[in-house]
Amino acid sequence: MSKQCRLAVVGATGAVGREMLSTLAARKFPATSVTALASARSAGNKAPFADGELTVRELTAESFKDIDLAIFSAGGGTSEQFAPHAVAAGCVVVDNSSAWRMDDRCPLVVPEVNAHALDKHRGIIANPNCSTIQMVVALKPLHDAARIRRVVVSTYQAVSGTGQKAITELETQVRQLFNMQEPEIKVYPHRIAFNCLPHIDVFLENDYTKEEMKMTRETVKIMEDPKIAVTATCVRVPVFYGHSESVNIETEKKLTPAQARAILSQAPGVQVYDNPGQKMYPMPLDAAGEDAVFVGRLREDESIANGLNMWIVADNIRKGAALNAVQIAEELLARNLLRVQDRNAFLA
């Protein structure tokens, strides 16, 4: 990749921001400069990058004057406030929050699935929800082969999806329980240690959670097929890293498990790990620290004519966040799309 750019990472001191920097360095992203941005309280801190470190600068509306590309790994409110300033300065934004995902002006991109959507960007590209990313990477090649009608997904999501405070809470609760102490509950509404919570994000009027509706709406947008019906149940489990998903699909055309394995074995970003006789199936332990989306437990759904069940696992901090954002950045460079067509597109 010969093209180069001046790059900034917003939210560089957070768990995903640190992973962004690590991924950029590991993939040798061709930036002529890398700037670490964060809130005022983090300004002056050091952020590891490559063989050295970056001094964190305070994020302001003026931070993007000499930046070509900014990867945002901050909350939705931060992105809503500062991403328009970046675009107005001529900087292209790849945003990891939920703020812009369903905005018609913003492509929602998983490079293995719909990289072509970048061609029409207007300055902000949205990085999808972590659980959506890993699912569509596995589903898109099957959809191309047999047209998916319906998706039923149940997720088993690691606490790292909530951030460092949730990782610390799980560690603390386990320690407290082993020491016969009452566990402290601060991050989640109930104890997470040795428990499962069918509650991620807030409940909506339809009694689904926001996380569940993200998966439903984002999948349709990314797959570019409004006919796909999606329903989700999202569960937080006491695992540190790696989201797992039980996915059932119904297709228009019959697709056998053997055919699905053959298709997925050739799919970009997918690793088939499926041999039940040898107790071989994906687990979060396998996915932690890995880039691939792992697929196993492929089997026919015997309750319907054209149904398949599968088990999908990926590292939610890597492919579910940092890696996908960096892959989007790489695609922008490769397609010569590091330019803003309309600098006022996101200004009120």
What is the spatial distance between Cα 322 and Cα 30, in angstroms, rounded to a whole number? Answer: 16
What is the spatial distance between Cα 83 and Cα 140, in angstroms, rounded to a whole number? Answer: 30
- 91 has catalytic annotation: no
Query: Which DSSP letter does residue 42 get?
Result: G
Name, in order, each residue with C-beta under 8 angstroms of 214's C-beta and a sequence gap of 6 or more.
98, 101, 129, 131, 132, 201
Collapsed DSSP state (helix, strand, coil) of residue 84: helix
Active-site entry in 5, 130, 143, 234: 130
Q: Are 31 and 5 in contact (CB under 8 A)?
A: yes
- 243 has catalytic annotation: yes
Query: Which DSSP letter does residue 105 get?
Result: T
Which tokens go with 178? 């082993």
Q: Are 111 and 93 in contact (CB under 8 A)?
A: no
Collapsed DSSP state (helix, strand, coil) of residue 257: helix
> Which has the closest alpha carbon to 328: 136, 121, 54, 77?
121
Q: Are 148 and 228 in contact (CB under 8 A)?
A: yes
Helices vs strands, H then E, count in the chain: 9, 14
Q: How many residues does the chain have?
A: 348
What is the spatial distance between Cα 209 and Cα 219, in angstroms, rounded to a whole number? Answer: 16
Q: Count Cβ neighbours within 10 Å for each residue of 82-110 and write b for 16 or more, e otherwise.
A: bbbbbbbbebbbbbbbbbbbeeeebbbbb
Residues annotated as part of the active site: 130, 243
